[in-house]
Structure 1
Amino acid sequence: MTSISVAPSVSLEQCDARTNEGDRCVLGRVSILIPSYMRGEDLRTTLQHTVAQDYGDKEIIVVDDSTPTSTILDVVREFPNVTYVRTPENLGLIGARNFGAALCTGEFLLNLDDDSWLEDRLALTEIVEFMRAHPRTGVAGLNIRVPNQNYVWPVDSKSKLLRNYTGCGNVYRRGIIAAVGDYITEFHRQGEEVERSLRIMDAGYEIRSAPSIRVFHAQSVINRHPARHIAFTAANYLRRELIRAPLWLLPFGCLRALRWAVRHRNEMDRRVYISEVFGRRVPLLPFVRRYRAPVSTSTYLSALALNN
């Protein structure tokens, strides 16, 4: 299936008010969104853990980002209760997340990568309880562990406000997407969560840690190119400042972005960075004209004061 008719988005308040199966946003339902490209074996492991979640009203949607073979479809066919959708063309990770989010009907939207999964079978129940207990939280950042490293936070630590969340393990309150908009697809990859976090905070919602809800991120080697990823991170840092920094803080923001790039120059693919900064893929001036909408000074400075 490559296209599905989707009803218009609803606001956070409208979503909270709807309860019927026929409505777009179903209270208590958790939508689990998993974009995938070329990682069939990794996806199988993720789905094995995900379908085992001990929670009644869940929907699992896999977005095949136009993998050139049938590997993703073949894996999904092993799991009868998982929905498969395919993008009409390769959109990249950011575009695939936008594509899939538009199809979700749950009150809460759990974002996973195709190589990350919840470690506790009761995690979905805990997610709903956490979001109910923190009604102003637009996005919860889950506690992620990668191979040979500890979790981001001690599992028994208290929840705290965050500057941003991580793409391979987070939970949205569904109406937030309608309130602040989709990811900016021109970013292509890396840093899209940081940019949308600013919009979420500027709309008056919190980003908050959920230390007890644990995610393992296997970090598949397929489609993982660290030097390119750092180059995109650096270029998107500059783009983010150009469109979101208040005017009087814009020089400061651009300087921070350039300093970050210099500090990581030996780790990045410099050709990719230069190409991105000079607008060979996305011309910079039209991009800024299209998206320039600075957040408030209060939001900007509050985000800078927070850490993850």
Structure 2
Amino acid sequence: MSSPLFTIIIPTHNRAERLSVAVESVLAQKNEDWELLIIDDGSTDNTRSVAESFTDQRIRYHYQENRQLNGARNTGVRLATGRYIGFLDDDDLFKPDHLSVLESGMATDNFKSDIYRSGELLQGGGKTTWVPNYENGPDILRQYWEKVTGMFGMVFRADLMKANIFDESHLLLDDFLWLNRILIQASLYQVEAYTAIVNLHPEQRSATYVNEELLRQNVERLAEAYNFPGVSERVNYRFYHKQVLHQYMHCCRVLCRGGKNYRAMKIWKEGISYASASDWRNVSRTFVMISTGK
């Protein structure tokens, strides 16, 4: 049996009520050359029954004792047989042409790149935000620091993934640090179409794993990433400040949603020292949210 072009990995933990939508978005793909691995990271709800209700032979379910997100990712990478590996969170989804668009990009690029990325949409609260795409040509590592993006919508050469497993001792900013290391030497090709959809909701990992102590840890880890050999020579220091500011403003918004406006304002005042002129829209919107509670 030949290897599929794509392996899609869904790490999941106690999200049975959301999992079906993610799985169905893979089943709806126009490109059928894929396998889907559902890695159940120690769920105690009915995740198993939801996963096993799908009978498509391209879907495999694997249960393991809880090892957190990176442990589930590593298991998925180990079990993957596809030539390219991508990840889908259990609360997000792909448009039906996602894999077709990526394969078309690969053909246009003559399969020369290590990573292929489609555009990413953020949806929630009745709003849609288009996450900035990269430009093909200019230094991708620099663009990665300049734009606030994640690894969703990307597929990676399988050998690259298997040789660079995730650090299971890391929980926060794990995507950022891992991809920072990869992009020092790997190439990325950006496809223009927006086909990966992030659903914004209060139970998101990025919304629940945030407080002032964790903010300090994130800032330290960003410094670690920027000081990684080969990064500071290619990435302007102001982009490091931009990423630190993003962490501060995100923490402010989470505190504000929890009714902790006084603490949010304190963090806001501390964070604006990292802002440049181009950041003031983000800073001002966060200030308005804290001031009005909306």
Residue 241, structure 1, aligned to residue 223, structure 2: yes
TM-score (norm 2): 0.67
Aligned to 2:71: 95
Identity among equivalent positions (%) equals 18
TM-score (norm 1): 0.64
d(CA) in 1 for partners of 2:55, 2:221: 42
Asked if the contact 1:94/1:188 (under 8 Å) is kept, the reply is yes
Tell me the CA shift for residue 201 of structure 1. Answer: 2.4
Residue 170, structure 1, aligned to residue 141, structure 2: no
Aligned to 2:47: 72
Change (3 A) 1:223 1:214: closer
Change (3 A) 1:236 1:123: same
Asked if the contact 1:33/1:111 (under 8 Å) is kept, the reply is yes
Asked if the contact 1:42/1:220 (under 8 Å) is kept, the reply is no
- Structure with the higher fraction of residues in helix conformation: 2
Give the secondary-structure state (helix, strand or coil) at the position aligned to 1:126.
helix
Aligned to 1:146: 122
Tell me the CA shift for residue 172 of structure 1. Answer: 1.2
Amino acid at match of 1:106: G
Tell me the CA shift for residue 227 of structure 1. Answer: 5.7
Give the secondary-structure state (helix, strand or coil) at the position aligned to 2:42.
coil
Asked if the contact 2:38/2:61 (under 8 Å) is kept, the reply is yes
Change (3 A) 1:58 1:201: same
1:183 to 166, 171, 183: 166
1:112 to 88, 96, 99: 88
Residue correspondences, number: 235
Unmatched 5+ stretches in structure 2? 256-294
Aligned to 2:278: none
d(CA) in 2 for partners of 1:109, 1:78: 24
Unmatched 5+ stretches in structure 1? 1-19, 270-308
d(CA) in 1 for partners of 2:132, 2:221: 29
Cα offsets for 1:113-160 (capped at 9, x unmatched): 1111111x2321221222343344322333221221222148xx9656
Aligned to 2:61: 84
Asked if the contact 1:35/1:93 (under 8 Å) is kept, the reply is yes
1:219 to 200, 211, 226: 200
Aligned to 1:58: 34
- The alignment's C-alpha RMSD in Å is 3.4
Tell me the CA shift for residue 249 of structure 1. Answer: 6.1
Amino acid at match of 2:170: F
d(CA) in 2 for partners of 1:184, 1:31: 21
Residue 47, structure 1, aligned to residue 28, structure 2: no
